With several copies, the nearest count.
Chain A
Amino acid sequence: MEGASVVGVGMTDFGVHDQPLPELFADAAFEAMDDAGADADVIDAFYLGNAMGGQTESDTHLAPTLASHIGLAGIPCSRFEDACATSSNAFKHAVEAVRAGTHDVVLVGGVERCTPSTGLETPEMTAIFASASHRQYEQPTGLTFPGVFGLLTTRHMHEHGTTEEHLAEIAVKNHANGTLNSRAQFGKETTVEAVLDSPVVASPFRLLDCCPFSDGASAVVVANAAGASTLTGDPVTVAGVGHATDVIPLAEKADLTATQSARDAASQAYEQAGIGPADVDVVELHDCFTGAEVLAIEALGLVEDGEGGPASARGETALDGRIPVNPSGGLKAKGHPIGATGAAQIVELVEHLRGEAGERQVEDASTGLAHNLGGDAGTTIVSILEVAR
């Protein structure tokens, strides 16, 4: 099996974009292709993550449509949808394809519009997001995605004493990181008081515990050795990718605070990379809500189970902490254009591993981990990147 590397990365600002999806995506794709030194004719395949273009914009069969728009018509194009883990799944398949030699160079992309620029307001978009919960046994209760993570986090608070202040500290950290990221949707700091004063969305989460609705696009160029040799981009090694699922609906999960799919995906990724949690220097993880970051740092083995809240409040996951988590600002501050999120995590890690992350650079980062979760943690994909040796 060949090795895989990320040779080019690009992304748009996350925020509000009033452009058609093809135009929005082109901005990220060209940046990634230029960063890789990849002309259109060296791209062998295109793997797209888009979670809900059919529901939000009446736009499906998007992979070849976007490929056409950027001059790639002809090559195999595939769209993946796995809720919020959508473009990580596209990335995983691209890594597998280049490892196998099926393709040498694959463009992986993600694009989504979720803001009112789509013409849809909060209740409609909330319903569309909820389509990733169980159609028969969860959606009809009125459960929303803040509600899904509200259920998981409320249980965590009960079992481990996690507090609303702990959660708020995560929002404060990620907002602070976001001020150092010009592409982040939120460029302002916040405070624990401001978080706790914001209105409840789904308890225990208040508005400032929640990621925003976002538009945006991201792209990465993945290659094997043969492919990378034809490119000029500074490569970062893909050391491991894990992908696991858990029982759906959530009431049937064995343990509501474990996010078991994250534990299983992390084990696979750590094993492939031949490392453990202590070897990771920088983490981009799926903080769709502050409580999700608590669950994730525990599932990834970065802190002991039950310690996610206090460890976050102590600053262990801050940019200058023991293990920096979400230097980009995370979904919380950077934004969460659903299908673009997974590939954008890879973009951020690559910039750190290249030493190109500017003010928010994690010093001497040589190993990065991305954790991208779909649905109620029904899907998790964990990717480990390393400085090329």
Chain B
Amino acid sequence: MTVDERLTHARWTEALRDGRLLGQRCSECDTVTATPEAACPACGARGLETIDLPTSGIVHTATTIEVSPTEFDAGYRVAVIDLETDGGARVTARLEGEASIGDRVELTDVLEVRETVPVFS
């Protein structure tokens, strides 16, 4: 795979705005990641195939933020969503609604504060 084909933040962001969640599958160890890397975090291989990830998943953990940084208004939830892929991909996202650990949620929106990140609910 050439460098030009490597999944970038720009391409990942563009896809997310279109409602798609792009990830990468390692050609060596099959680890799947849900945000772009230049090499596999598990084995260091650079051969990473860009793939479409499921847009639904299970809440792996979540927190409600009541003291927020500038640019954010407190009282929101951030979660790690398990996308239930074979390679174990998870993604950090905004979580709308009341879902708890173990509940199924869907990619329903994006949040755009400086960058674009997924919103599940």
Bound together, the chains give a CA A245 to CA B91 distance in angstroms of 20
B residues in contact with A122, CB < 8 Å:
67
Q: Quick check: B64 and A30 within 8 Å, CB to CB?
A: no
A residues in contact with B38, CB < 8 Å:
22-23, 26, 30, 69-71
Most chain B CB within 10 A, of A27, A69, A140, is at: A140
Q: Quick check: A147 and B113 within 8 Å, CB to CB?
A: no
A residues in contact with B37, CB < 8 Å:
68-69, 71, 252
**Total A-B residue contacts, Cβ distance less than 8 Å:** 158
Check A201 for interface membership: any CB of B closer than 8 A. yes
Q: Quick check: A127 and B69 within 8 Å, CB to CB?
A: yes
* CB-CB nearest in chain B for A130: B69
Rounded to whole Å, the gap between the CB of A134 and the closest CB of chain B is 8
B residues in contact with A76, CB < 8 Å:
none
Q: Quick check: A71 and B39 within 8 Å, CB to CB?
A: yes
Bound together, the chains give a CA A254 to CA B90 distance in angstroms of 10
Q: Quick check: B94 and A141 within 8 Å, CB to CB?
A: yes
Bound together, the chains give a CA A250 to CA B78 distance in angstroms of 12
Number of chain A residues close to chain B: CB under 8 A = 54
Q: Given contacts A136-B9, A200-B66, A201-B67, is CB(A71)–CB(B44) below 8 Å?
A: yes
Chain B stretch 42-75: residues in CB contact (< 8 A) with chain A: 42-46, 60-72
Check A123 for interface membership: any CB of B closer than 8 A. yes
B residues in contact with A73, CB < 8 Å:
41
B residues in contact with A126, CB < 8 Å:
67-70
* CB-CB nearest in chain A for B118: A141
Rounded to whole Å, the gap between the CB of B22 and the closest CB of chain A is 12
Q: Identify A23's interface contact among B9, B33, B65, B69, CB under 8 A.
A: B9
A residues in contact with B114, CB < 8 Å:
139-140
B residues in contact with A136, CB < 8 Å:
9, 35, 115
Check B105 for interface membership: any CB of A closer than 8 A. no
Q: Quick check: A20 and B92 within 8 Å, CB to CB?
A: no
A residues in contact with B44, CB < 8 Å:
39-41, 71-72
A residues in contact with B39, CB < 8 Å:
26, 40, 69-72
Produce 1/0 per residue, B75-100, CB < 8 A to A: 01011100000001011111000000
Q: Quick check: B117 and A137 within 8 Å, CB to CB?
A: yes
B residues in contact with A194, CB < 8 Å:
none
Q: Quick check: A199 and B66 within 8 Å, CB to CB?
A: yes
Q: Which of A148-156, A331-339, A342-350 contacts B (4 or more CB under 8 A)?
A: A148-156
Q: Identify B61's interface contact among A127, A154, A199, CB under 8 A.
A: A154
Rounded to whole Å, the gap between the CB of A230 and the closest CB of chain B is 15
Bound together, the chains give a CA A203 to CA B115 distance in angstroms of 24
Bound together, the chains give a CA A158 to CA B42 distance in angstroms of 25
B residues in contact with A155, CB < 8 Å:
60-61, 80, 101
Rounded to whole Å, the gap between the CB of B36 and the closest CB of chain A is 8
Q: Quick check: B117 and A141 within 8 Å, CB to CB?
A: yes
Q: Given contacts A40-B39, A251-B90, A256-B61, is CB(A142)–CB(B101) below 8 Å?
A: no
Bound together, the chains give a CA A155 to CA B100 distance in angstroms of 11
B residues in contact with A137, CB < 8 Å:
35, 91-92, 117
Check A124 for interface membership: any CB of B closer than 8 A. yes
Q: Identify A27's interface contact among B3, B67, B113, CB under 8 A.
A: B3
* CB-CB nearest in chain B for A73: B41
Binding site for A on B (CB under 8 A): 3, 8-10, 33-46, 60-72, 76, 78-80, 88, 90-94, 101-102, 111-117
Binding site for B on A (CB under 8 A): 19-20, 22-23, 26-27, 30, 39-41, 68-73, 122-124, 126-127, 130, 134-144, 146-147, 150-152, 154-155, 158, 199-204, 247, 249-252, 254, 256
